[in-house]
Amino acid sequence: MEDAHGVLSNALAVVAHERDHQAQTARLRRVVDESFDFVWRVLRRMGVPSRDADDAAQQCFLVVARRLKEIEEGRERAFLFQTAIRVARNEHRSARRRREDGEQKLSAIVDPAGGPEDIIEQKWARRTLDALLATMPDEQRAAFVLFELEGLTLRETADVLGVPQGTAASRVRKARQHYDRRVRRLRERIGNGGSR
Amino acid sequence: MTEPRRILDDDPDELDLLLLGAGTEEAPSSRAKQRTLLALGLAVGTAALGAKVGTGLTGGKAVGSLPVALFAKLTGVGVVAGGLAVGAAAVFTSMSEEPTARNTPAVSAWLQEPSSTPVASASTVSASEEEGLEAPPTVASAERKVRLAPAEPAPRVPVPVESSEPAPTNALAEELDLVERARAHLQAGRARDALRLLDRRDADHPRGVLGIEATVLRVEALVQLGDRAAARSIGEAFLKRHPRSPLAPRVRQAVGRVPSKAEGEPR
């Protein structure tokens, strides 16, 4: 009798384990379906070159897969975002060097002194945006990417960043000021280039 | 708390729209997602394999005429001699590159070998390398979906289906099917069957997009068969070529090297 009870308990445990595994698999699949593009875009806007973005995105989801049971339901996107930020950082040089390179690239844009004239509009815009983002401190950049580019609300931005709303609002505002300053200079250079 | 005003809600001009649009229109290729699903061991056959084709970066506008048009649009000034001069080559590389292969809205665009150049270490990446040829991930074309014959999801202790179903109708789907079935055999302890399918994958798709995943499975299959020498040989070559691949830890573990610290995990 005890043996039968033991066998039954084991069988029930196996079934429960299998159900749990299937639920986790379904959850992981859902997370990938819902968030893959978002993670990929975040990686790109945080400076990962397009040739590395696929692998970097895959890395993020491998991390999520390993940690899925620890991640609260509904918090997957926040976890993914934070993972993406770290992965992007790992791919790059120091924050200071990133910003310096960004400034250099941004100042080289619309150089009336020379350079190839044949550009493709979207490529130009993307590279300009990436150079501009590279000049931002990482915290502001992350907030800008979420709020201005991905269109999250302030509350969602704070949630994904894992900070209070006030902190998120402050970062968004500073990022906006930074953006406005750089774009103003860009407009001036475009204007100067046109008048020659 | 008052929500800050977004740029797009704050009377954006053409330049704002151009820059912000560039940030949101870029999208990964569908093969990137499929490769991730495969790496996670998630069934890929049951999903419609969509070739989501977004507004990508290949433009399509004629090189040479655009700078002036762009300039005029941004400044409101008419055509000006000299047009819009762009920064040095270090910033904008190879303007003549027109990734025509990627402009083809066909599955064949997916058959290009994925980038397999190792990611340079943090100390050696230079700005010009980083700003190198960045191939647009999507192609500017109408959306197209490629449907697979529905396949069974990979069971946990799988019995691979030696298919009597009609063959998939495109190369990527075929390659995915072979690799996924090889994985299922491997998980079931049938390394020889896995290697057989991987050999077939190599022969039928020499330039397929799943080369990395197939190599990792091959290493694991060889380990399972007890052929450690062959596993190590292939594994070491893989690690030399792809030291920072997301699948590198699996290879290290398979060939008995000390697993590397998982990167990027939030604490």
Closest Cβ opposite residue A52 in set B6, B43, B119: B119
Greater pLDDT, A144 or B209: A144
Residue B75 has pLDDT above 80, yes or no: no
Sign of CA dihedral A119, A120, A124, A130: negative
Minimum mean pLDDT among A125-129, A162-166, A174-178, B234-238: which range? A125-129
Report DSSP letters for B114-165, one per residue.
PP-SPPPPTTT--HHHHTS----SS-SS--EEEPPPP-PPPPSS-------S
Of B19, B66, B256, B186, nearest in space to A128 by CA: B19
DSSP 8-state symbol, B72: H
| Contact state of B245 with A55 under an 8 Å Cβ cutoff | yes
CB B50 within 8 A of CB B146: yes
Residue B217 has pLDDT above 60, yes or no: yes
List pLDDT tens digits, range A49-66: 888 899 999 999 998 998
Greater pLDDT, B218 or B53: B218
Give the residue on B whose Cα is nearest the Cα of A27. Answer: B42
Which of A110-114, A140-144, B16-20, B182-186 has maximum average pLDDT?
A140-144
Provide the mean pLDDT of chain B: 65
| Contact state of A101 with B262 under an 8 Å Cβ cutoff | no
Residue A164 has pLDDT above 90, yes or no: yes
Of A32, A123, A35, nearest in space to B70 by CA: A123
| Contact state of B265 with A172 under an 8 Å Cβ cutoff | no
Amino acid at B135: A
Minimum mean pLDDT among A74-83, A99-108, A111-120, B182-191: which range? A111-120
| Contact state of B119 with A127 under an 8 Å Cβ cutoff | no
pLDDT at A91: 66
| Contact state of A147 with B6 under an 8 Å Cβ cutoff | yes
Residues of A in contact with B36 (CB under 8 A): 32, 36, 54, 57-58, 61
Greater pLDDT, B32 or B51: B32
Give the residue on A whose Cα is nearest the Cα of B129. Answer: A49
Residue B195 has pLDDT above 50, yes or no: yes
Residues of A in contact with B91 (CB under 8 A): 105, 108-109, 127, 131
The percent of residues in chain B predicted with pLDDT above 70, rounded, is 48
The 10 Å CB-count burial string (b at 16+, else e) for B123-151 is eebebeebbbebbbbbbbbeeeebebeeb
Best of A117, A129, A172, A188 to disrupt the B interface (most B CBs within 10 Å) is A117
| Contact state of A83 with B32 under an 8 Å Cβ cutoff | no
pLDDT class of A38 with cuts at 50, 70, 90: very high
Question: What's phi and psi for B147, nearest 5 deg?
Answer: -100, 140
Residues of B in contact with A179 (CB under 8 A): 7
Residues of B in contact with A168 (CB under 8 A): none
pLDDT at A4: 81
Give the residue on B whose Cα is nearest the Cα of A98. Answer: B127
Greater pLDDT, A121 or A25: A25
| Contact state of A126 with B23 under an 8 Å Cβ cutoff | yes
C-alpha distance from B18 to closest chain A C-alpha (Å): 6
CB A156 within 8 A of CB B123: no
Residue A142 has pLDDT above 80, yes or no: yes
Report DSSP letters for B182-202, one per residue.
HHHHHHTT-HHHHHHHHHHHH
Residues of B in contact with A108 (CB under 8 A): 87-88, 90-91
What's the rounded mean pLDDT across residues B219-236?
94
pLDDT at A110: 57
Residue B90 has pLDDT above 90, yes or no: no
pLDDT at B207: 83
The percent of residues in chain B predicted with pLDDT above 90, rounded, is 23
Best of A39, A80, A91 to disrupt the B interface (most B CBs within 10 Å) is A91
Residue B241 has pLDDT above 60, yes or no: yes
pLDDT at A123: 78
The percent of residues in chain A predicted with pLDDT above 70, rounded, is 88
What's the rounded mean pLDDT across residues B124-147?
38
Alpha-carbon distance of B134 to B137, in angstroms, equals 9
pLDDT at B149: 41
Residue B183 has pLDDT above 60, yes or no: yes
Minimum mean pLDDT among A25-34, A118-127, B97-106: which range? B97-106
Residue B119 has pLDDT above 50, yes or no: no
Greater pLDDT, A45 or A107: A45
